[in-house]
């Protein structure tokens, strides 16, 4: 049984995907869009690497990646194709599966069987539950949830990787979705890694309403987040959105201001060590699940909190 493991990006969970593949067969080949990674593969037990080359693939282009992979799958006829369940991995595998007219299982933690059916365990509901499922597919398309393996190399008897070049036939229009510009993130704390996130939802009421959240975040050395209502209303950019279709955060403290705690938001903040909900509704799910809550209008509560922090800082002789 031949399995392909596709390196869509340089996500560190690559070894987890290799581990799941090697658990099924010794006949594992890698598919690379960047040839420089080929040298590392022998110690991972990978026998061959297919290096995909084409001008259109010079930077990330998910449709073109999917089409290139579909052509390679047509040539090699593997039993399955795996990639890391990163944002890019899931996007490219979805394009591949659509082109193959094959089913696709994303974010798997276990894969067994040899097709018809594949037996899989996968993450559902943004991480809220694990689902055991059967997938009836000749060639299975999967992504592997980061952390599903041990993150270590599997013992290898491979001495040298057989590196092969593959040049797909790609039309220019496949590059219509592609990276055209990269910009450095502005200085400051990033939402994904901040120790404190001050997040606002519909209750904030307007783009201007976020000034008080920004002020509190700055005082606490944190970042500002928001719910999808805020991004939909144009109050905040999508890069600030927390949740299923935004960023997943795990700060020491998540301050949820005027956010109801819908499941799609909750899965993005549930890993916070502590949650402080500020909400007018004592029965809002964010309040009932939070570590601490203040029932009240955020437009009154936040200025009072800021004034208190400033007063304490002043008496302690600190500037922030």
Nearest distance in Å: CB 216, ligand FAD: 14
Cα gap 84→92, rounded to integer Å: 10
First to last CA, the chain: 61
In terms of Cα–Cα distance, which of 14, 293, 308 is closest to 152? 14
Cα gap 257→277, rounded to integer Å: 6
Do the Cβ atoms of 225 and 247 come closer than 8 Å? yes
Nearest distance in Å: CB 231, ligand FAD: 8
Nearest distance in Å: CB 33, ligand FAD: 28
Q: Residues interacting with ligand FAD, by CB under 6 A? A: 201-203, 227-229, 241-246, 258-260, 262, 264-265, 268, 278-281, 284, 297-299
Of the pair 135, 302, the CB lying nearest ligand FAD is at 302
Of the pair 219, 301, the CB lying nearest ligand FAD is at 301
Sequence-ordered list of residues with C-beta below 8 angstroms from that of 179, at least 6 positions apart, any chain: 59, 60, 61
Q: Which residues of 180-212 are buried (b: 16+ CB within 10 A; e: fewer)?
A: eeeeeeeeebebeebebbbbbbbbbbeeebbeb
Nearest distance in Å: CB 101, ligand FAD: 24
Of the pair 7, 260, the CB lying nearest ligand FAD is at 260
Of the pair 37, 202, the CB lying nearest ligand FAD is at 202
C-alpha pair distances (Å), 27 with each of 1, 14, 31, 280: 6, 17, 13, 59
Nearest distance in Å: CB 287, ligand FAD: 8
C-alpha pair distances (Å), 260 with each of 24, 192, 227, 286, 312: 44, 21, 9, 5, 30
Of the pair 297, 308, the CB lying nearest ligand FAD is at 297
Of the pair 139, 226, the CB lying nearest ligand FAD is at 226
Nearest distance in Å: CB 224, ligand FAD: 14
């Amino acid at each position: 049984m031949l399995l392909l493991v596709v390196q869509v990006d340089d996500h560190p969970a690559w070894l987890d995907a290799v581990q799941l593949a090697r658990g099924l067969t010794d006949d594992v080949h890698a598919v690379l869009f960047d040839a420089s990674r080929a040298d590392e593969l022998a110690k991972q037990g990978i026998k061959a690497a297919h290096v995909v080359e084409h001008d259109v693939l010079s930077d990330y282009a998910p449709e073109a990646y999917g089409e290139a992979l579909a052509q390679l799958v047509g040539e090699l006829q593997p039993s399955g194709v795996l990639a890391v369940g990163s944002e890019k991995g899931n996007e490219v595998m979805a394009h591949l599966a659509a082109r193959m007219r094959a089913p696709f299982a994303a974010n798997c933690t276990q894969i067994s069987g040899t097709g018809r059916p594949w037996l899989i365990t996968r993450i559902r509901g943004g991480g809220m539950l694990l689902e055991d499922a059967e997938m009836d597919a000749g060639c299975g398309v999967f992504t592997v949830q980061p952390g599903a393996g041990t993150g270590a190399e599997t013992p290898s008897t491979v001495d040298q990787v057989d590196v092969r070049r593959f040049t797909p036939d790609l039309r220019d229009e496949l590059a219509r979705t592609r990276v055209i510009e990269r910009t450095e993130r502005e200085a400051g704390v990033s939402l994904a890694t901040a120790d404190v996130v001050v997040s606002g939802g519909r209750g904030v009421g307007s783009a201007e309403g976020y000034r008080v959240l920004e002020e509190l975040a700055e005082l606490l050395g944190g970042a500002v987040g928001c719910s999808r209502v805020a991004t939909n209303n144009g109050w905040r950019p999508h890069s600030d959105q927390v949740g299923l279709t935004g960023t997943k955060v795990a700060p020491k403290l998540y301050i949820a201001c005027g956010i109801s705690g819908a499941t799609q938001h909750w899965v993005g903040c549930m890993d916070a060590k502590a949650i402080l909900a500020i909400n007018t509704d004592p029965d809002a799910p964010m309040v009932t699940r939070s570590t601490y809550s203040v029932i009240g209008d955020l437009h009154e509560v936040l200025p009072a909190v800021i004034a208190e922090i400033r007063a304490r800082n002043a008496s302690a002789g600190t500037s922030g």
